[in-house]
A and B are shown apart, each in its own frame.
Chain A
């Protein structure tokens, strides 16, 4: 189980980064949109940041489950982590999106950071899935 646990530690760290980056480090644009009735609403990158952090939270919980679950945890536990990585990648690019100008804070900083971390989560979780499968089949030096 050594390799899959190491991978779970990596996905756990990446999940924490996915939570804190869009909220505190590379934050979305700060302004608000004014509607015709005078009310103000945040720009869509704000919702992308919140949704990405939530996805990071799910990935974090799944990583903890893999880490603490030991042999009871099946290889399939890496699947939600992979899905979180994929959603993290799709939220700023396709599902919600970001602002229209590439020079804006959300596009210059938040989007690339979120995409990079999410892609790493997806790739690492796939490696973890294969590693856990091999361990379950007795090929990975299971302990």
Chain B
């Protein structure tokens, strides 16, 4: 009994792809590589851009004042989740800074390092803020407040601290109620624990007897003063005034920190764009060569198809369909591989990049995958159009004879 074979363009194209396995695997792999680079590159650039935007919106202050020589430690805490603890020697630093010309508001923060004794021996950053004067962290905390309960003895946790609102968390031998989890920022805040000043003072006092070592030498210590500059005053002039009025301090302009991250991000983003462009160019050149050679080698096959009645348009459509099908498979495969690598290893990638990074939302990931697939899919037909056009210029007799 004879078997019926479909001679539709797509069916013929698919059969050719299956029959010429080595060539198909080669082209699919190349497109998968292109699509992978495009998809991962876009995810990384977008995530880094959002991370920098979020960090700048979360820093809140115009100027940050720390003890002299601790500017790098502060950047480590804020940007790279590197826990540190340091304090001003002078107890009256907050009052001194508040009286400086140009300072509209000043709020103290205390940075402590703690071991989460219930879990692991990696230090956790504790950021203590004064709820009465704070203008940087409080608005954020109020907007994400989720769990009811006494604010006394409560903490708020960053998005990377693995606890849920309502849990108890152990710090310096004392138990604290997790009031809420803050949104993802891509910055060091994500791995920090936030605590109000009165809770921290009590914890510091009790830590001397309950923990192996005291949490902090003084209950009223200050690590950093966040400053808001008054209207009509320039940030740099106010920073200079603080430097002149207070001794042993270092003044960090928030904009300076952010421009540092922005320039790092610009460099990183340019490198990725260069990599994507290079991969695309390489794929295009290689595919043009592959299609020219393989279509030339198949002249006899095309001649036979012409003899049995296939039109030139049919041949061109068949060749373009072959390229498009292989490119769709390669693109989907590349995006899938990209998802498998970038999504689970997002924290590792963010740590390696050393700039704030936020994973794009699912809808954005799907959007980027769709764009990468479209570009990958169009690359195939685009690169074989020339070779396919050449095919239509040959006479059937010459095709068969070749």
Residues of A within 8 A of B (CB): 29, 31-34, 43-45, 99-104, 107-109, 112-113, 115-116
Contact = CB atoms under 8 A, between A and B. Distances in A.
A88 to B, nearest CB: 14
- Which DSSP category, helix, strand, loop or mixed, fits chain A's interface? mixed
B248 to A, nearest CB: 32
Given A31-B120, A33-B120, A33-B121, A102 B347 contact: yes
10 contacts: A31-B122, A33-B117, A44-B120, A100-B118, A101-B120, A101-B162, A101-B191, A103-B351, A108-B348, A113-B345
Contacts of B190: 103
Among A33, A45, A103, find the residue whose CB has the most chain B CB atoms closer than 10 A: A103
Contact of A103 (B81, B117, B119, B345): B81
A43 B81 CA distance: 20
Contacts of A33: 117, 120-121
Contact of A43 (B120, B191, B340, B344): B120
Contacts of B159: 102
Which bracket fits the contact residues of B?
Answer: 20 to 34
B121 A43 contact: yes
Given A99-B119, A101-B191, 13 more contacts: A31-B121, A43-B119, A43-B121, A44-B120, A100-B163, A101-B116, A101-B119, A101-B161, A102-B162, A103-B160, A103-B347, A108-B351, A115-B344
B355 interface: no
B124 interface: yes
A100 B347 contact: no
Contacts, number: 67
B26 to A, nearest CB: 19
A101 B160 contact: yes
A105 to B, nearest CB: 8
A115 B343 CA distance: 12
Contacts of A31: 120-122
A107 B119 CA distance: 13
Interface of B: 81, 116-122, 124, 159-163, 190-191, 212, 340, 344-345, 347-348, 351
A68 to B, nearest CB: 28
A99 B120 contact: yes
Contacts of A115: 344
Given A31-B122, A43-B120, A108-B351, A100 B345 contact: no
A103 B157 CA distance: 13
Given A101-B161, A102-B160, A116 B344 contact: yes
A101 to B, nearest CB: 6
A49 B30 CA distance: 35
A5 to B, nearest CB: 19
8 shortest A-B CB distances, which residue pairs? Answer: A112-B344, A31-B121, A108-B347, A102-B160, A100-B119, A99-B120, A100-B162, A103-B191
B354 to A, nearest CB: 13
Among B81, B159, B160, find the residue whose CB has the most chain A CB atoms closer than 10 A: B160
Nearest to A110: B348
A21 to B, nearest CB: 12
Contacts of A109: 345, 348
Nearest to A106: B120
Contacts of A113: 344-345
A29 B122 contact: yes
